[in-house]
Amino acid sequence: MKILIIGANGTIGKKITKTLSGEHEIITAGRNSGDIRVDITSKKSIQQMYEEVKSLDACICTATSGSMDNFSSLTEMDLLINMKGKLLGQINIVLTGQHYLNDNGCFILTSGIFADRPAKGVTGGGLISGALHSFVLSAAIELERGLRVNVVSPGMVEDSAKDFGHLFPDLKPVSMEKIVHAYVKTMENGITGEIIRVYE
**Of 96, 93, 74, 97, nearest in space to 85 by CA:** 93
Q: How many angstroms separate the CA atoms of 124 and 157, rounded? A: 19
Burial label for 67, CB within 10 Å (0-12, 13-18, 19+), is exposed
How much is the pLDDT for 163? 77
Q: How many angstroms separate the CA atoms of 144 and 54, rounded? A: 18
Other CB atoms within a 10 A radius of the CB of residue 115 amount to 21
Domains of the chain: 2-198 (3.40.50.720)
Summarised one tens digit per residue, pLDDT across range 128-162 is 999 999 999 999 999 999 999 999 999 998 888 87
Whether the full predicted model's pTM is greater than 0.75, yes or no, is yes
Strand-strand pairing, 25-30 and 106-110 = unpaired
Summarised one tens digit per residue, pLDDT across range 150-200 is 999 999 988 888 777 777 888 899 999 999 999 999 999 999 999 999 998
